[in-house]
A and B are shown apart, each in its own frame.
Chain A
Amino acid sequence: DAGVIQSPRHEVTEMGQEVTLRCKPISGHDYLFWYRQTMMRGLELLIYFNNNVPIDDSGMPEDRFSAKMPNASFSTLKIQPSEPRDSAVYFCASSPTRGQQNSPLHFGNGTRLTVT
């Protein structure tokens, strides 16, 4: 099991550019989560999917952010246009069941985004 795979590991871009972050969840996991981590705000849930369907996107900060899950093995988080305040580490996580219980979230290693 390769775990949750995120790409790229690091992304540096200029303000105004489009940024696409990618995630491959663990095979068989029905839930996929996107989190953002910053020093100021800690770990924030942006959006989560169940069986490829977005369930709760209330954490998405603005319309500049969008997320898709076209199939069970792939998800993207897109920022267009990017701004310096979007600089953060973005984590993808997956889980096999609802409500976690003893099936914890499995996190990827994150994408560190820097917008200059």
Chain B
Amino acid sequence: GEDVEQSLFLSVREGDSSVINCTYTDSSSTYLYWYKQEPGAGLQLLTYIFSNMDMKQDQRLTVLLNKKDKHLSLRIADTQTGDSAIYFCAEIHSSASKIIFGSGTRLSIRP
């Protein structure tokens, strides 16, 4: 079935790296995404990765994809207070146009 799972909370110290993990079930997913939701706002696309890639780096963001284990992670280097948000992992369901979202991981930054 369709399922994308994430842990609900993550707390990191300012300046440290944050690693947010996600597992998915659809092995035929072609694209996987990370969205960021700030308070009172909608979701915004942070980054995405093709299923034939293992890693993608974009400035402070690094996405790692393990297709064998159906595991996706987002690493944020040098985490700042502005990174406080909910981060959603998402996959395209292979049989339709719709995106399946995880429950979101709330990232909080401590001084």
Contacts and interface: CB of A to CB of B under 8 A. Distances in A.
B42 A4 contact: yes
Interface stretch (B16-24, B63-71, B98-106): B98-106
Interface residues of B, number: 22
Interface residues of A, number: 23
Interface majority SS (helix, strand, loop, mixed), chain B: strand
Contact of B92 (A33, A50, A99): A99
B45 interface: yes
B99 to A, nearest CB: 6
A107 B42 contact: yes
Contacts of A105: 43, 45, 99
A105 B40 CA distance: 18
Contacts of B35: 104
Q: Lowest 9 CB-CB distances: which A-B pairs, in order?
A: A107-B42, A104-B45, A42-B103, A43-B101, A107-B43, A98-B97, A109-B42, A100-B92, A108-B42
Interface of A: 4, 31, 33, 42-43, 45, 48, 50, 55-56, 91, 93, 98-102, 104-105, 107-110
Interface of B: 30-31, 33, 35, 40-45, 48, 88, 92, 96-104
